[in-house]
Chain A
Amino acid sequence: GAVVSQHPSWVICKSGTSVKIECRSLDFQATTMFWYRQFPKQSLMLMATSNEGSKATYEQGVEKDKFLINHASLTLSTLTVTSAHPEDSSFYICSARISESEAFFGQGTRLTVV
């Protein structure tokens, strides 16, 4: 299957700083990527849909100024958590689709804000 690479796999940052998470489709071009957040023992919650060359579409309740998404190329989308706070600590996962076929997921990023 297709490969989606997410980096870093884990990060610890101080409260108030910003953290960037990268999501790359390694062997295919992804016009659309998705960013999810997962709390312990909870399902994946869609945060935003990232479209190459245009603004991301955010789900209700997700602060677009806090979670900046950039999809500058067909193989790379980035999520920047700005002015991170402890409540932003979570597991973030990106996903990419080629078409209406399978969704492929990155390895996830464990963010801990101290």
Chain B
Amino acid sequence: KQEVTQIPAALSVPEGENLVLNCSFTDSAIYNLQWFRQDPGKGLTSLLLIQSSQREQTSGRLNASLDKSSGRSTLYIAASQPGDSATYLCAGISGAGSYQLTFGKGTKLSVIP
């Protein structure tokens, strides 16, 4: 059974700092990987999707990479802003044809002005 670990569980950084969030899977056979943002009491907002043929995706100040051989993904946030404060979740699909996402517990990010 796939398990997802996110490190660190919480992170506090000063505004403007670059940061990296980590995600690892017990089963490295990841087909798709998706990073989400969740604000308190809210649903999930999709940030980046790395599909099976890709190794990384970029959107604005965000860059996500996936190393299938090790079953690890990182989310890089450049020049962090207070508005980036949220919980970041990674989730993966194991195997083509599967629609089920397995989630990590998330990393709670606080960007201090």
Contacts and interface: CB of A to CB of B under 8 A. Distances in A.
Interface of A: 1, 6, 32, 34, 41-44, 46, 49, 91, 93, 95, 97, 100-108, 110
B43 A93 contact: yes
What is the predominant secondary structure among interface residues of chain A facing chain B? strand
Interface of B: 4, 31-32, 34, 36, 41-46, 49, 51, 89, 91, 93, 96-97, 99-101, 103-106
Contact of B104 (A34, A41, A43, A100): A43
A103 B89 CA distance: 13
Given A43-B104, A101-B49, A108 B34 contact: no
Given A41-B105, A42-B105, A105-B44, A34 B34 contact: no
A43 B34 CA distance: 14
A33 B47 CA distance: 20
